[in-house]
Amino acid sequence: MKLTQYSDYGIRVLTYLGLEPQQQATVGEIAAAFDISRNHLMKVVQQLAGQGFVESRRGKLGGLRLARAPQDIGVGEVIRALENDFDLVECMRDRRDCRIAPVCRFSKLVAEANLAFLAVLDRYTLSDLLQDTGRRQELRTLLHPDQPISSGAG
C-alpha cells in the first residue's frame, strides 16, 4: 500500500513554505532544496494552488507562499486533495474488473478502513509537522545547509 508521489511532494512543499510563512519561494528553489524534479514539483504546486493551500504570484516579485496559516491546513485535507483516488482495490474503480463485485463486501471493508486512515490524518495540521522550535531549526538546517543559523525567527 502506497501513497502517490503527489502526496509526498505536496507535504514537502507545504513544509518548506510553512517554515517561513512570511517569505515567498520559487518552485526551483524548493526542487533544489529537496533535490527532486522541478517538473514533477510544478504539477504538485499547481494542484496545491488550485485547492487553495498555496498562493502563487507571477512576475518579478512573484513566488509561492502558504495561502493559510499552518494550523489551518489539515494533513487529511491535503492528502484527500492530492491522492488522485482512494479506490484501493480495482473493483472500486471498475466493478467489471471482478466477477463477484456486485455482492462482494471486501471493498466496503476497505472503504471503511480508509475512512479510519483519513480520520487519523484529520487530527493533525501542517503546524504539527513543523511544531517546536528545535524541529523548525533542524528542518531549516536540512533544507538550507548553506545558510547561517538564524537565532531570530523561532
Nearer to its own copies, 20 or 62 (CB): 20
Beta bridge partners of 56: 64
Query: Should residue 25 be labelled a site residue for its own copies when binding is judged by CB under 8 A?
Result: no
Handedness of CA 24, 28, 29, 31 (dihedral sign): positive
Nearer to its own copies, 60 or 105 (CB): 105
C-alpha–C-alpha distance, residues 37 and 47, integer Å? 16
3-state SS, residue 6: helix
| Least gap, CB of 43 to its own copies (angstroms) | 17
Burial code (b: 16+ CB inside 10 Å, e: under 16) for 79-93 equals bebbeeeeebeebbe
Q: Which residues in 50-89 contact its own copies (CB under 8 A)?
A: 75, 83, 85-89
- Candidate list 55, 139, 148, 151; residue touching its own copies; CB under 8 A: 139
DSSP summary character for residue 111: H
The site for its own copies (CB under 8 A) is made up of 1-5, 7-8, 11-12, 15, 33-35, 75, 83, 85-91, 98-100, 102-106, 109-110, 112-114, 116-121, 124, 128-129, 131, 135, 138-139, 142-143
